[in-house]
Structure 1
Amino acid sequence: MKPHRMKLTHHLVVNYDLYRKMDVFEPHWASPEEIKAFHSPEYIDFLQRVTPTNQKEYAQELQKCMFNCGEFTDCPIFDGVFDFCRIYSGGTLDAAHRLNHGLCDIAINWAGGLHHAKKSEGSGFCYVNDIVLGILELLRYHPRVLYIDIDVHHGDGVEEAFYVTDRVMTVSFHKYGDFFPGTGDIKDLGAKNGKYYAVNFPLLSGMTDESYKNIFKPVIAKVMETFQPSAVVLQCGADSLTGDRLGCFNVTTKGHGECVDFVKSYGLPLLVLGGGGYTIRNVARAWAYETAVLLGEEVSNNIPYNDYFEYYAPSFKLHLDPDPELENANSKDYMEDIKIRIFENLRALDGAPSVQMAQAPPSILTREEDEDAVDPDTRAPEHDNRRQPEAEFYTNENDQDQCEPSNTEKDSNQMDADRTSATSMEVD
């Protein structure tokens, strides 16, 4: 989960000229109060205070595995850990906020998607669950939110957070069995008001593009028909790609992107997040390609020259080929059986749940600026956090976009611009 993945992704998005089709924003740093909307105060206070040099002072708490952070866990303490959490969580909150106010149709935060974190503990390299925070923000305006997870690992933290509510349906396609986190059986359906609102498709090793497509599309179509969400959150963990260091699937960038395109085709407000991915050159490939998919843009299979060009050797191609030696353990009969059982569970629901929506409750965002109070036809500079520092997004010294366009050019550019909004960040 190294932040270096964001640099590689950023450089591909810029050098494919995709940034020209988006509004790119610098996220605010989520405050402790915003993060405590889901996480326990004790856990967040711990993350704020602990450092590699003082973690021995918390030996008693760590030995009791109170927070599942520190040495000998999958959530080690490093310098700036809480700042890191604040940045990616702020990006997801900002993205959800913009969707709520109709400022974009699609919002992207590739640095988000950390789906394993629980209310009072870290898990699987995830310290703060930005997805849960983003969904909570969306629920202020949307009666029903659908969460879809295509990471190779089960989205256990998000499922657990909404296990007893019918306002969020969680759908996870993941490797199941002797594999982290060990949850996500088809029998895990939700409880109380949330019964049948947790959908799990447990998979075996070697999933191919064709196999994934044959289960993903019909299941999501049935979920859409049954649940009728008003907003969607899509976690695009790239460890489900072929060749991932910790993964075991054989899905290519095109197959992964086809899932993204299918969800996009429903035309619902869509929050797109990153997630796992441990072969970083392939993570950047997938997320750059999926940025293009979300924008409806065609991009070359040849990687454009950029600061990290050598990472893509020896092919220097955007798309991945499947591993011909990796066997697909998912038989057609197995996948069909799981699909039928999921459909039976969905039929147990008596249509989409009715939600009485009153005046929207206060946002969990605690920034001083109030975008609701701003004239939508006037963009006040002090409220505009679009990233346009000098030369940051320019690919060469002859790029004329550094010049202020004429009014005619502005009008033309505005008409052509896609309404996709991205919260993009690099963390050193």
Structure 2
Amino acid sequence: MLNLAASSALGQPSKRRVCYYYDNQIGNYYYGQAHPMKPHRIRMTHSLIQNYGLYRKMEIYRPHRAAFEDMTKFHSDEYIKFLQNILPENKSKFKNLMSRFNIGEDCPVFDGLYEFCSISAGGSIAGAIKLNKQATDIAINWSGGLHHAKKSEASGFCYVNDIVLGILELLKYHQRVLYIDIDVHHGDGVEEAFYTIDRVMTVSFHKYGEFFPGTGDMRDIGIGEGKYYAVNFPLRDGIDDEAY
């Protein structure tokens, strides 16, 4: 899940305007039997939001799906073309490219893969645009947060890095962006994307050790102009609320 918040609203929680992006097709995509990534959970979340009446507190939008040109603002043209063209029926023709782009057991080929990526990325880009126009204080995209995807490589169930695309949109209007990642896994794809620049500070709280993706050491702090703009909080098992 990606949650984008404007800094100007931090002192006024009762007056925050919240918008929420949801495409009702998102729950139709299926990574495969026994795969832990289940987009259907996003549909379940939407159902809870409706039944608890939380939708009355938010503006709900169906995002435009991200186009090829949107995704290639970060990802390589060749990689996005590959995602556009590969299908479960023709994947044997793409054997070499599947290996090159890290498509396999964790990141399988499934029906509608490219459309799934365009929905996820579209929501995060739309949220960033909304913030840039000062039309909301908080933008939520439950289908986003796919923080492991690299420029030309899928990783950890993530194919297109909607977070990087959203941040690039925010940088059009803002001099600097602070990215905070509280997923149990290190936000390696986002950190890598901005590791050498000082306009984005990436902050990741994550389990560390023999745990995917194995990155996010406390000593990883960025390089060049980005030195000290990558902040990592590697954590062990057993952390409680007080320690956190």
TM bracket, shorter-chain basis: 0.7 to 0.9
Taking only the aligned residue pairs, the percentage that are identical comes to 66
Q: Deviations over 1:218-241 (max 9, x none)?
A: xxxxxxxxxxxxxxxxxxxxxxxx
More strand by percentage: 2
- Name the aligned partner's letter for residue 181 of structure 1: P
Is structure 2 residue 88 aligned with structure 1 residue 69? Answer: no
Structure 1 residue identity aligned to 2:141 = N
CA distance in 2, matches of 1:207, 1:35: 37
Matching residue of 1:50: 86
> 1:200 aligned to 2:232?
yes
Tell me the equivalent position of 2:59: 23
In structure 2, the residue matched to 1:190 is: 222
Q: Distance in 1 between matches of 2:154 and 2:59?
A: 32
2:230 maps to amino acid: A
- Once residues 180 and 86 of structure 1 are traced to their aligned partners in structure 2, the CA distance between those partners, rounded to angstroms, is 25
- Shift in Å at residue 74 of structure 1? 1.2
Of residues 41, 53, 78 in structure 1, which corresponds to 2:110?
78
- Mean Cα displacement is larger for which, 160-169 or 51-60? 51-60
Which residue, out of 137, 142, 167, partners 2:174?
142
The offset of 1:60, in angstroms, is 2.2
Give the equivalent residue in structure 2 for 1:155. Answer: 187
What amino acid is aligned across from residue 127 of structure 2 in structure 1?
A: A
1:109-159 superposed Cα distances (whole Å, 9 cap, x missing partner) = 111000000000000000000000000000000101000000000000000
CA distance in 1, matches of 2:79, 2:96: 14
* Inter-partner Cα distance in structure 2 for 1:138 and 1:60: 36
Runs (5+) with no aligned partner, structure 2? 1-36
The whole-number CA distance in structure 2 between the counterparts of 1:98 and 1:61 is: 36
Kindly provide the amino acid, as one letter, of the partner of residue 116 in structure 2.
Answer: F
Q: Which amino acid aligns with 1:68?
A: N
Cα distance between partner residues in 1 of 2:69 and 2:214: 31
Written as runs of structure 1 = structure 2, the 5 A alignment for 1:164-175 is: 164-175=196-207
TM-score, length of structure 1 as denominator length = 0.48
- Superposed CA deviations along residues 367-386 of structure 1, whole A, max 9, x for unmatched, are xxxxxxxxxxxxxxxxxxxx
Alignment match, 1:96: 128
**C-alpha displacement of 1:8:** 1.1
Tell me how far apart the structure 2 counterparts of residues 120 and 33 of structure 1 sit (CA, whole Å): 15
Match of 1:59 in 2: 95
Cα distance in 2 between the residues matched to 1:21 and 1:152:
28
Q: Provide the C-alpha distance between the structure 1 equivalents of 2:151 and 2:161, rounded to a whole number of angstroms.
A: 8
- Distance of 1:44 and 1:59 partners within structure 2: 16
| 1:122 equivalent in structure 2 | 154
Separation in 1 of the partners of 2:97 and 2:145? 27
Identify the structure with bigger relative contact order (alpha carbons < 8 Å, sequence gap 6+). 1
Counterpart of 1:392? none
Whole-angstrom distance in 2 between the partners of 1:84 and 1:188: 32
CA distance, structure 2, for counterparts of residue 85 and residue 47 of structure 1? 9
Q: Tell me how far 1:61 sits from its aligned partner.
A: 2.3
SS at match of 1:211: coil
Secondary structure class of the residue paired with 1:8: helix
> What CA distance in whole angstroms lies between the structure 2 residues aligned with 1:210 and 1:98?
35
Which of 199, 209, 213 is matched with 1:177 structurally? Answer: 209
Secondary structure at the aligned position of 1:97 is classed as helix
Shift of 1:176: 0.5
Q: How far apart are 1:87 and its partner, in Å? A: 0.4
1:248-288 C-alpha deviation (Å, 9 max, x unpaired): xxxxxxxxxxxxxxxxxxxxxxxxxxxxxxxxxxxxxxxxx
Gaps of 5+ in 1: 213-428
CA distance in 1 between counterparts of 2:94 and 2:58 reads 44
Map 1:17-416; keep pairs closer than 5 Å. 17-62=53-98, 65-70=99-104, 73-212=105-244
Q: What is the aligned-residue RMSD (CA, Å)?
A: 0.7
The one-letter amino acid of 2:62's match is E
CA distance in 2, matches of 1:29, 1:46: 18
SS state at 1:60 partner: helix
Amino acid at match of 2:48: L
Partner residue, 1:283: none
Partners of 1:107 and 1:83 in 2: CA distance: 21
- Residue type of the alignment partner of 1:43: Y
**Which residue of 1 is the match for residue 27 of structure 2?**
none
